[in-house]
């Protein structure tokens, strides 16, 4: 009998490309609340949680970064994200995603979830617009914690609960597109399949400790990892 498997998929750059909708929505939110559309321009958002992004940007512009301040920007961002996703002509599901989800779903004793820096609401907006949300009934989200490792830990616990198994009896496979996904997977003792469909190329991802590194989810190596990790 195979070990129960918990899959935790990242969203941006792994499952979908939003055509910049998230970045535009965040810039709009900061402009509305602080008059600074450029608040996030000085650092890479890849692999960060939404709350961590907002906190870093608030500090960068010299604004208060307590929880109410983050909540205010986050609410504006989520409001705008709906608008941007509805009018994002370049948004698309990435190569191989449909088949990857089929392979994961076909594995016995599996639970398919999200491991994302998006809040739950943000994930629902993005994946709902792309017709994918129905594949994911649980996950770890950026509203669980600002640290990505803690986000994945929350997702893994929920996956084990869905399988009615102890987490120690399950394997966890994180599928992501940034070094932060790999490091967070390692932090919780999970395996990681890294895909170069986001902002980081194959060489950067190969320099991490990922178990598998592929150009995209159409690669047979990726499908084999999903079947038998």
pLDDT in tens, 201-228: 999 999 999 999 999 999 999 999 999 8
- Tell me how far apart the alpha carbons of residues 162 and 109 are, in angstroms, rounded to a whole number: 10
Model confidence band, residue 47 (pLDDT cutoffs 50, 70, 90): confident
> With a threshold of 0.75, does the pTM exceed it?
yes
Fold of 5-18+91-228: Rossmann fold (3.40.50)
**In a 3-state reduction of DSSP, which class is residue 85?**
helix
State the Cα torsion 73-92-198-224 to the nearest 10°: 130
Sequence-ordered list of residues with C-beta below 8 angstroms from that of 27, at least 6 positions apart, any chain: 37, 38, 39, 40
């Amino acid at each position: 009998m195979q070990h129960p498997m918990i899959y935790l998929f990242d969203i941006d750059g792994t499952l979908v490309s939003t055509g910049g909708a998230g970045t535009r929505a965040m810039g709009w939110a900061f402009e509305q609340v602080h008059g600074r559309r450029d608040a996030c321009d000085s650092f890479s958002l890849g692999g960060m949680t939404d709350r961590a992004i907002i906190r870093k940007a608030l500090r960068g512009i010299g604004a208060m970064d307590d929880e109410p301040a983050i909540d205010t920007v986050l609410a504006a961002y989520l409001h705008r994200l709906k608008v941007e996703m509805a009018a994002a002509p370049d948004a698309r599901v990435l190569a191989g995603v449909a088949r990857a989800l089929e392979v994961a779903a076909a594995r016995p004793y599996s639970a398919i979830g999200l491991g994302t820096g998006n809040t739950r609401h943000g994930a629902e907006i993005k994946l709902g617009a792309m017709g994918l949300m129905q594949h994911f009934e649980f996950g770890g989200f950026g509203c669980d914690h600002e640290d990505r490792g803690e986000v994945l830990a929350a997702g893994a616990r929920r996956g084990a609960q869905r399988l009615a198994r102890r987490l120690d009896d399950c394997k966890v496979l994180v599928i992501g597109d940034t070094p932060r996904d790999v490091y967070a997977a390692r932090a919780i003792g999970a395996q990681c399949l890294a895909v170069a469909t986001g902002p980081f190329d194959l060489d950067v991802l190969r320099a991490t400790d990922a178990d598998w590194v592929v150009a995209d989810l159409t690669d047979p190596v990726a499908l084999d990892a999903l079947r038998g990790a």
